[in-house]
Every structure is written in C-alpha cells, then in structure tokens.
Amino acid sequence: MWNQLKIQNLATPNLGLITDTICCPGMDYCALATARSIPISQKISSHFNNYLKQKEIGDLKIKISGCINACGHHHVGNIGILGLDRKGQEFYQITLGGSAKEDAAIGEIVGPSFSENDLIDAIEKILNTYKKHKRNKNDDFLSVFRRIGIKEFKKDLYDNFTKKA
C-alpha cells in the first residue's frame, strides 16, 4: 500500500519533522479565522521539502492557528504560529517552546508579528539559532530552547531583520 501511495506522492516519511505541521482550516474554510493557515503550512512544506534537511533539523512540532480560538494548537507547538488581522492585513505571531507531551508547556510569544512574506525567513532565523546551539544530533529544538531560553532566539530573529516588500 505504501508503495502505491508513494507513486501518487502521498507517502512522505516526515512524521515529527518540520513539514509534518498541524494547522486549522484558517480563513480559507472558517468564518471565525482572521488569517489563512493552510497556505502557511504549504509554504513551510515547500520550503523545507528536502528530506535530508528535515532529518538534520530533527524532531520539531510546528502548529498553526488562523485565529485566537487556537484550533491548530499553536500555543503548544515547539514553533507556534498564530494568524492575526492587523488593519485588514494578515500577520503571524510566533511562539516558541510549547509542548503537548507529558512535559506540557505553553509557548512564549517571541515579539512583533511577521507578514506572510517574512514568515519563512523568520523560521529560518529561528532554526539557525537552534542549529548554532545544538550540541549533538539528539539535541532537539525543545531541548535547545529550554536550555538557552527565548532571549537568544529574539536577538537572532529581530537583529538586522529585513522585511520583504
């Protein structure tokens, strides 16, 4: 069965990796949403589609919600993304350090939100901070976040950030 699904490009072995996102329907299908979430998930999957890069990043839970109702459980994502409406424009607030496992934690808001155009660059900066502080291949994102805290991520994320048009 897996081989048949693979032929149809429906068998990606990405369980627990960066492209294995959870997102709510967002503004595409939900009247309560303030931002789209499915296209954000698709952009993440497309940008990080290299399986070897995904394995290098390791265990990482990205969760995306299109509004504060949090159907995508952004608040417990290792990287959480909350869609917001800012004067008719879609923006995305990032939280870090959330977990829905037995070591449950609510993610911490990093700072000002990002436009859709800037979101992938922001995620890349977060991942660069993680990789810079990763001690070995078993040191996952959540472990690094808990060890170094949010300040280092904020500094690397917002210092010299260039917004896209």
pLDDT tens for 27-57 read 999 999 999 999 999 999 999 998 889 888 9
pLDDT reported for residue 165:
54
Q: What tens-digit pLDDT sequence spans the chain (165 residues)?
A: 878 888 887 777 787 888 889 999 999 999 999 999 999 999 999 999 988 898 889 999 999 999 999 999 999 999 999 999 999 999 999 999 999 999 999 999 999 999 999 999 999 999 999 999 999 988 999 999 999 999 999 999 998 777 765
- Maximum Cα interatomic distance, the chain, rounded to a whole number of Å: 48
Phi, psi of 89 (to 5 degrees): -110, 145
**What is the value of pTM for the model shown?**
0.90
Query: Could you give the domains of the chain?
Result: 19-158 (3.30.413.10)
Nearest to 72 by CA among 110, 39, 38: 38
Q: How far apart are CA 117 and CA 7, in angstroms?
A: 32
Secondary structure of residue 65 in the 3-state scheme: strand
